[in-house]
Each structure stands twice: as C-alpha cells, then as structure tokens.
Structure 1
C-alpha cells in the first residue's frame, strides 16, 4: 500500500505503522506522530508513497504485443493505488482493447515487481497482489471482491464471462440501476454515510460522491482518513447498515479459474537481461532503500547493532588468523613448502569456523555479508577444479581484499553508507557473482497470465413465463379444445344462422313471386 522509503522521507512511517499495527481509539489517534509541515493534499501523499506504475508493472504484454502506459488507469482505493487495465472509463485510452481468441496466445501477461523490500505495516500485511476482474467500476472493490496472488508464483487465470438480464417488479426485486453490481451499491452507500458522519469526503470517494449534496464538502485530512473515516467504516460494516440496495437487472461477471506454479529464476533472469538499464536502476534503488531502512527504523538499527557487534567480535579474530596464515604461506613458498596444500588447508579451517557462526550470519539483514563468506567457501571447489587464475595472482588478490574487509569491520558497524559499502566491497572480492542479484529474486515478483478459457460466454435472460397475451391465447385454445366454443366456432355458428336466415327469406320471396304469376295466368284465361 505504502512504500517504506517514501513514508520515511515524508516523516509518516511512525504514524502509518502505528495506525496499522495498533488499535486506534478515540483517545489515541496517533496524531502526535504526524510531521508539522505535512501537506493537506492526501491524493498527492498516496501517489508519492504508493507503488509507481513504471516500477510495479515491470513487464506487460497483451496478445503478444507490448502494453502501453495509456492502457492503465490509476485509482486510489482503500488498499492504496490500483492500476486498472483496459478500463472503458479511461480518459487516456481512445479505444478499448478486444480479443478474438481464447487461450494463452491472447492473454494479458504481467510481471509485477511488488518491491517487497519496501514493505511496511498495511491493512493485510500479506505479500503479493490483489486482483479484481470486473466490467467497469469507478472504485475497484479490492478489499471485498479481490482475490490474492502470492509472491514468487506464476498464476494462470482463466476467466469465463457471464451476462445476466433479470426482470424487475412484479417478477423480481432487481432495478435498472446505475451500479454495476449489488456490492458496488453497498460500497457507495457506506461511503456516503461515512462522509456525512465525518463531515468530509474520504480520499477514495472523490470520483464517487459527485452529488450536489457533497459538492461543498471538503476532502478529509490524512489523520481523518485513518481516524474518523476508518473507525466509522468498520462500525458500519459490523452493524450491517441497511442501504436499500437492489440487485441490478443487468450484470456482467467474470468467474476466475486459478492454477499456480513457482516462478523460475531463469524467467526473471531472462527478462532482466533484456532490460539491463532497468536492472541497474533496481539495484541502486534496493541498496538505497536498504540503507535508509536499516538506519532510520529503530527496531532494525537496534537489531543490526546487536547482530553486527556479535558478528564483528567473532569474525575479526578469524580474519586476522586467516591473514596470518597467508603470511606464513608466503614464507613457506621460499622454503619449498607446497603453497596449494597450505592454501586448501587454510580454506578448510575457515570453512569450519564459518559454519560455527551460521546462527549469527543467517539473517535477512546480514544477507550481503553472508554472501561474502559463503562464496569464499565455494572458492575451494573452484581451486580444486583449476578454475582459478595463476596462484600467485590469486593469493595477492584474496589477501588484499581480506585486509580490506577487515578494515571495513574496524571502521564501525553503522557508519554512513555502511550497507552500500559492505555490498560493494563484497562485490569487489567476489567479482561478478550472480548471488548479488538475489534481491531481484522471485520473492519480489509476481507473474500473472489472464485469458479467456472460452471465447463464447454465457448469457442468462429472465423472461415472463405467462404474460397477459399468453393468458388469452391459452384460454382461447382451452375453450376451443374442450368446450368447442372458440371464437371461430361462434363465428361459424353466426355465419350458419345468417346464411340459413337469408336462404329462408329468399325461398319465401321466390314462392310469393310464383303464386303471383299463377294468379295472373288464371285471370287471363277467364
């Protein structure tokens, strides 16, 4: 959520770490830990202390093509900065990206640098990232609906899209809502209530609360966001406040199917080798962060002091003995003693002594110094396999650097730039060692591939089973089938009666005419 180095620079580390690691009460808001000259612009603070897109998204491809910065939209949530890919609401992206195939070839492939060395106390204190698959939300619901992806893992996420169209009253309780989901409606309702109680707008609700009633309301200060806003939000969630939210009649969901495997170090090395400039920047950033963290955080500096003093007190005699051994080897050369045997014997002695100090050396904060001595042990194997340079050159090289290492210990354990100096000195001694790239390790990366499992999608449409027209049709059919009194039958009867009536009248008329003709003939005969 926040980066350690940047919070230390702003003087916020003690405040934020207290907020997330201790219980906040009405009498203890930790405001005493806030610096006096802190800006009131909370959005700027979050942008400065949060993960940067250029660092966080180390590598990105969409359907085999390189992603562009405009494809991501930055949003501030209760989990800090969130980067949304291919958001329809993005002002930078002119046209959304589409996919026409399923499977990995059309996947969104991300290599994320989570900067674990920058971690500090946060809402979850977990290592990794949260992902939320959605159609489009003004504020991604990371805390409620996001799923976690572990660090050092390659996660494959196959998704299935489902569209649902439901009927409202009187058939159901859904409404034609402006919200994309019921959860989004609940979230916005709670934010409105929090704003009304705290009389300010939380930092993550800036793009949401745009109603006229909130136009004149100011933005919450940082201490209000972690004071009134946070405590009120937790109380509202606990009390299950009635928000009168109905389910939207139209909803789009994405069901993920996850599979995992560990990231190979070869994968990270391959990507880093293609971006040497980025690798060098990460190295320098890492050393500076280590320097700042180890010197400015009391818990770390006190522990380092104890570890280093214990380490130095035990290591200096060993180094002196080792250097004196080399002096003895130099004399031995002149009197015909086999140098290689003496050298290997000295290495074996050093190896045994270092193994006794493993409890002191094995510490995350001593990793750089541990590399120095653990690889010296490996030099034994290299020497036996004749991978060294000339013996005389190697002897002088190792002897010089061991003396430099000893002088480094004697100068003090927490001097200025100590951790950078320690690492650089170890690099000089060991040359190009791949173990110095361990900070760019799988523990600092998350690899994610998101793709459609099937290009088709499921569409569920709710319809009226028995409409009024269907009712009339069913009644008419029932009457025609059972009673024989359908409308057609009635009309046929009417037609029959009309026809018969007209036929009867016609016959009567013909009979009258015939009688008149007979009467006329009889008169003429008379």
Structure 2
C-alpha cells in the first residue's frame, strides 16, 4: 500500500535529530484513509515495525530538535492546498487528522518552538474525570473503543469517535478521516454518501446528541499538551538550491520549481522544563477530623468552664444567704 502513494523515500531530503543524522527507516509508517501515507518519527518503532527505545532531548534550542527538509514532488496535486500536514503529539497517543495539526507550506522554512504542559486532575469523588485506575468505572462501548484505537484515552478523540459512530449508524460507513478504520469501512465520497453525511451532520448539531457524547466521553484526568511558537522564513535560497538541492534532485529543474516543491521544518523545545498543573485536595479526611475534633473540644471546653462558673456562683450565693441568716439571729433583741 505504501508504494501506491507519495512515500518517505521520495519525500525526505535531509533529516537530523539533536545534530545526529536520521533516515527514512527511522519513521514508522501508517495509512490514513484521508491522506494516504503517514510517517511518525520517534514513535518507538522503526519503518519495518521493530521496537526501539524513544529518543530523548536534554537541551532546548533549534539545533537540538528534529530538523527536516522535505519534498512534496513536482507532479500536479489534486488537493486544495500544497504542502505537508504535521502533527506533534506524545508517543503514547495517536493524532486525529482533523485536529491539532500544523500546515507546512512549500517555499518556507518553519521553526516550531514547543513547550510541554502536563495537567493532573483528581479523580472521583473530586471530579468526573477518567483516571488510569478508573477505567473499569466507564464501561461504555465508546470509551473502550477509544482506548482500543488510540492506546491512551483522550476526551477529544472519544467525542470525534462519537460523531463518527453516529454517522456510521445512519450512512453505513465511517468518515474517511477516522483513525484506525479499514478501507472497506470508509465512505465512498460520491453524491449519495455526501448527501447522507451532510444531512445527518445538520441533524446531529441541531439535536441533543453532542450532549449525549459528553456523557459517554468523560474528561481525562491526565493530559499532555503542547504550546507552539511558530515562525517562518523563505526557503530555499538561490545558493542552497544551486549547491545542494539541484545536484541531488534533477527533477527540480529551476529555482522556481524548487521553491514550489520543497520545504524545511525545525521542531525543538523552547524550554526543557515541563509545566505541571496538578489538583490537590484542599482538606484530607484526617485534616477534616482534626478540625472537627478541635472545634468540638473548644465547644465542650467552653461549656464545661461555663458550668463550673455557674456552680461557683450558686455556692457563693448559698453561703451569703446562710451568713446573712446567722448575722440576723445574732443581732435580734433578747426578751
């Protein structure tokens, strides 16, 4: 199947990671029903499927990340735009083709500075999020299918899958950009199928179905996200084209063709530190007991002191009355 599309051998011109060269064998190959060949760098697998250790980055900066020079080919494209679609994601997750992507345009070198953020939320009873230890609490078919397809649960993937399942039940096929489906399950985008998809999409967004999806797709307790800072410059220069690209790629006959069919991208950490946002319990059960106990102790202590003081006053009143009676007897006249 890979040979039927535009492959990594034709696409990859230059590759380096942390100043060390890399090649087409370092990319894992997958098939997207919508885009065709997709290649993942540092997924934990090589192109032939062999498992390898994940590469690590210990320093920030443009020279310590992944640098790629890519070709989009010189043949005319039938797509609406020309370039490369890039996804940046954690190795434990798989991207969805319609969210979290970056368009790389030909004729430009794109620098993407990445900062990683890790969010940890408290599970039940503090929230309704789905934690790693609470998978058994969510037994919906949608939750299980999201885990099965993507390896790690993400609410956004589950919500997308919920919509795709809604269309599947009514149009008898999956939308082509759904991850993990077989070609036999993908919709043929003819007029009849497109009419079915559009009709039920309008019905979907104007109904309570999206709210039902939120009930079936809880928020995840642990989230890894990335913030990007993107900048661009024109690529290639006349000097780079004449001395490096043109001698190696004869199909790039002129400088203009080179600009229209090549691009470069540098992906690197802007800061090697990871921002961690973690929910904490405002009060533990032990702290609550201690506070309740202290409050009760204060109340009981105050009540006991008040009782003692009242008793003391009563005793003094009794002694005063007796003393007064004794004084009255001693001063009464004798007959």
TM-score for both structures, normalised by structure 2: 0.70
Cα distance, 1:100 vs. partner? Answer: 0.9
The answer as to whether partners of 1:129 and 1:148 remain within 8 angstroms in 2 is yes
The answer as to whether partners of 1:154 and 1:446 remain within 8 angstroms in 2 is yes
Q: Deviations over 1:324-359 (max 9, x none)?
A: xxxxxxxxxxxxxxxxxxxxxxxxxxxxxxxxxxxx
Is residue 99 from structure 1 mapped to residue 45 from structure 2 by the alignment?
A: no
2:164 corresponds to which of 188, 191, 195: 191
Is residue 82 from structure 1 mapped to residue 47 from structure 2 by the alignment?
A: no
Q: CA RMSD in A?
A: 3.1
The aligned runs of 1:11-90 (5 Å cut-off) are 44=1, 47-77=2-32, 78-88=34-44
Q: Tell me how far apart the structure 2 counterparts of residues 142 and 253 of structure 1 sit (CA, whole Å).
A: 16
Aligned partner of 1:279 in structure 2 is: 249
Aligned partner of 2:72 in structure 1 is: 114
The aligned runs of 1:276-315 (5 Å cut-off) are 276=247, 278-280=248-250, 282-283=251-252
Cα distance, 1:237 vs. partner? Answer: 5.0
Aligned partner of 1:166 in structure 2 is: 121
Q: Tell me how far apart the structure 2 counterparts of residues 443 and 254 of structure 1 sit (CA, whole Å).
A: 30
SS in 1 for 2:98: helix
Aligned partner of 2:96 in structure 1 is: 141
Aligned partner of 1:452 in structure 2 is: 269
The answer as to whether partners of 1:139 and 1:204 remain within 8 angstroms in 2 is no
Larger Rg: 1
Cα distance, 1:262 vs. partner? Answer: 1.0
In structure 2, stretches of 5+ residues that fail to align are 136-146, 305-335
Q: Tell me how far apart the structure 1 counterparts of residues 97 and 273 of structure 2 sit (CA, whole Å).
A: 27
Number of residues of Structure 1 aligned to a counterpart in Structure 2? 272
The aligned runs of 1:27-426 (5 Å cut-off) are 44=1, 47-77=2-32, 78-88=34-44, 91-115=49-73, 117-122=74-79, 125-136=80-91, 140-176=95-131, 178=147, 179-200=152-173, 207=180, 219-220=184-185, 224-227=187-190, 234=198, 237-238=201-202, 239-240=204-205, 241-242=209-210, 243=213, 244-263=216-235, 264-272=237-245, 276=247, 278-280=248-250, 282-283=251-252
Report the CA distance shift for 1:151/1:459 in structure 2 as closer, same or farther (over 3 A): same
Aligned partner of 1:22 in structure 2 is: none
Report the CA distance shift for 1:249/1:150 in structure 2 as closer, same or farther (over 3 A): same
Q: Tell me how far apart the structure 2 counterparts of residues 61 and 163 of structure 1 sit (CA, whole Å).
A: 27
SS in 1 for 2:249: helix
TM-score for both structures, normalised by structure 1: 0.46
Q: Tell me how far apart the structure 2 counterparts of residues 247 and 268 of structure 1 sit (CA, whole Å).
A: 49
The answer as to whether partners of 1:70 and 1:93 remain within 8 angstroms in 2 is no
Aligned partner of 1:40 in structure 2 is: none
Q: Tell me how far apart the structure 2 counterparts of residues 247 and 235 of structure 1 sit (CA, whole Å).
A: 29
Cα distance, 1:64 vs. partner? Answer: 1.1
Q: Which has the higher helix share?
A: 1
Q: Deviations over 1:95-128 (max 9, x none)?
A: 111111111121100111122x323333xx1222
The answer as to whether partners of 1:76 and 1:82 remain within 8 angstroms in 2 is yes
The answer as to whether partners of 1:70 and 1:92 remain within 8 angstroms in 2 is no
